[in-house]
A and B are shown apart, each in its own frame.
Chain A
Amino acid sequence: MSEQIATVTWINGPVVRARGSRHVSMLELVEVGEERLVGEVIGLNGDIITAQVYEETSGMRPGAPMYGTGLPLSVELGPGLLKSIFDGVQRPLPLIEMQSGSFIGRGMRLDPLYRKDRWKFTPVAKVGDAVNGGMIIATVMETDTFEHRIMVPPDLSGTLTWLASSGEYTLEDVIAKVKVGSEEKELTMLQRWPVRRPRPYKSRLGVNTPLITGQRVLDTFFPVAKGGAAGIPGPFGSGKTVTQHSIAKWADAQVIVYIGCGERGNEMTEVLQEFPHLTDPRSGRPLMERTVLIANTSNMPVAAREASIYTGITIAEYYRDMGYHVALMADSTSRWAEALREVSGRLEEMPAEEGYPAYLAGRLAEFYERAGYVETFNGKSGSVTIVGAVSPPGGDFSEPVTQHTKRFIRCFWALDKSLASARHFPSINWLDSYSEYLEDVAGWWQKQVGTDWLRMRNRAMEILSEEARLSQIVKLVGPDALPDEERLVLETARLLREGFLQQNAMDKVDAYSSLQKQVRMLELILRFHERALRIVKHGAPILLIHELPVVDTLIRMKTNIPNEELEKMDDIQKQIDEQMSRLDSEYR
Chain B
Amino acid sequence: MSNVIVQGGQEVLGVGRIDGPILVVEGAANVSYDEVVEIRDSQNRLRRGRVLEVGEKNAVIQVFAGSTGLSIDGTRVRFLGDTLRIPVAEEMLGRVFDGLGNPIDGGPLPLTDTYADVNGQPINPTARVYPRDYIQTGISAIDGMNTLLRGQKLPIFSGAGMPHDQLAAQIVRQATLGAPAGEKPKETESFAIVFAAMGVKHDVADFFRKSFMESGALTRVAMFLNLADDPPVERLVTPRAALTLAEYLAYERGMHVLVILTDMTNYCEALRQISNIRGEVPSRKGYPGYLYSDLASLYERTGRIRTSEGSITQIPILTMPNDDITHPVPDLTGYITEGQITLGRDLDQKGIYPPIAVLPSLSRLMKDGIGQGRTRSDHPRWGAQLYAAYAHMQDVRALASVIGEEELGDVDRKYLEFGRAFEREFVNQSLTENRTIEQTLEIGWRLLSMLPREELTRVTLDEIKTYYKGE
Q: A104-B122, A394-B331 are in contact. List 17 more A-B contacts (CB 8 A).
A: A9-B55, A12-B33, A58-B32, A94-B126, A97-B127, A102-B123, A269-B125, A269-B128, A270-B130, A297-B296, A298-B300, A299-B123, A393-B284, A393-B328, A422-B387, A477-B402, A478-B399
Answer whether residue B305 sits at the interface, using C-beta atoms and an 8 A cutoff: yes
List, in ascending order, chain B residues with CB within 8 A of A265's CB: 122-123, 125, 128, 300, 303
With a cutoff of 8 Å between Cβ atoms, the chain B residues found around residue A56 in the complex are 119
* CB-contact partner of A341 in B52, B53, B283, under 8 A: B283
CB distance B296 to A102 under 8 Å? no
Whether A58 contacts B122 by the Cβ 8 Å rule is no
Is A397 interfacial (CB 8 A cutoff)?
no
29 contacts between A and B (CB under 8 A): A10-B54, A13-B33, A60-B32, A62-B54, A96-B124, A102-B307, A104-B123, A236-B334, A237-B339, A262-B296, A264-B300, A264-B336, A269-B129, A269-B130, A272-B125, A297-B296, A298-B293, A298-B336, A300-B122, A351-B281, A355-B289, A393-B331, A394-B331, A422-B387, A422-B388, A423-B388, A474-B399, A478-B399, A555-B457
Are B54 and A104 closer than 8 Å at their CB atoms? no
Cβ of B296: which chain A residues have Cβ within 8 Å of it?
A: 262, 297-299
Residue among B293, B338, B409 making CB contact with A266, cutoff 8 Å: B338
Selected contact of B123 from candidates A103, A341, A479, A552, CB within 8 Å: A103
Q: A59-B33, A269-B130 are in contact. Are A297 and B362 (CB under 8 A)?
A: no
Q: Are B124 and A97 in contact (CB under 8 A)?
A: yes
Please, which residues of chain B bring their CB within 8 A of the CB of A209? Answer: none
Interface size range of chain A in the complex: 35 or more
Q: Which residues of B contact A556 (CB under 8 A)?
A: 457
Contact partners of B284 in chain A: CB under 8 A: 354, 393-394
- Interface residue? B280 (CB, 8 A): yes
Most A CB contacts (10 A, CB to CB) among B54, B284, B307, B367 go to B54
By a beta-carbon cutoff of 8 Å, the part of chain B in contact with chain A is 29-35, 52-56, 82-83, 119-131, 151, 251, 280-284, 288-290, 292-293, 296-297, 300-301, 303, 305-308, 326-328, 331-332, 334-336, 338-340, 359-360, 362, 364-365, 367-368, 380, 384, 387-388, 391-392, 398-399, 402-403, 407-409, 454, 457
Q: Does A273 make an interface contact (CB < 8 A)?
A: yes
Separation of A60 and B30 alpha carbons in the complex (Å): 9
B461 to chain A, nearest CB (A): 8
Closest to A345 in B: B281
CB pair B280 A61 closer than 8 Å: no
Interface check A506, CB cutoff 8 A: yes
Query: Known contacts A101-B127, A264-B300, A266-B338; is A237 also within 8 Å of B399 by CB?
Result: no
Hey, what's the 0/1 contact readout for A464-477 against B, CB within 8 Å counting as 1? 00000000001111
Most buried by A among B54, B121, B281: B281
**Cβ A480 vs Cβ B409 within 8 A:** yes
Q: CB within 8 Å of B: which of A545-566?
A: 547, 551-552, 555-556
Number of A-B contacts (CB under 8 A): 215
* Docked CA distance A265–B332 (Å): 16
Query: Shortest Cβ distance from B124 into chain A, in angstroms?
Result: 5
Structural contact, B326 and A394, CB atoms closer than 8 A? yes
Whether a CB of chain B sits under 8 angstroms from the CB of A384 is: no
Look across to chain B and name the residue whose beta carbon is closest to the beta carbon of A95: B126
- A490 → B minimal CB distance (Å): 12
Pick the 5 closest A-B CB pairs, nearest first: A394-B326, A298-B296, A422-B391, A102-B127, A58-B34
Q: How far is the CA of A277 from the CA of B111 in the complex (A)?
A: 47
In the complex, the answer to whether A264 meets B338 with C-beta atoms within 8 Å is: yes
In the complex, residue of chain A having the shortest beta-carbon distance to the beta carbon of B306: A102
- Asked if A475 meets B399 with Cβ closer than 8 Å, knowing A103-B122, A422-B387, the reply is yes
Cα of A498 to Cα of B457 in the assembled complex, Å? 9
Interface readout for A62-99 with B: 1 if CB under 8 Å, 0 if not?
11000000000000000000000100000001101100
| A250-267, CB < 8 A from B | 260, 262, 264-266
Q: Is the CB of A342 within 8 A of B31?
A: no
CB-based contact B339/A355 at 8 Å: no
A105-B121, A421-B359 known; A61+B32 contact, CB < 8 A: yes
Contacts of A117 in B (CB 8 A): none
> In the complex, A338 Cα to B127 Cα: how many Å?
26
Q: Is A391 in the interface zone, CB < 8 Å from B?
A: yes
Contact A299 B122 (CB under 8 A): yes
Query: Which residues of chain A are within 8 angstroms of B403 by Cβ–Cβ distance?
Result: 476-478
| A342 touching B293, Cβ below 8 Å | yes
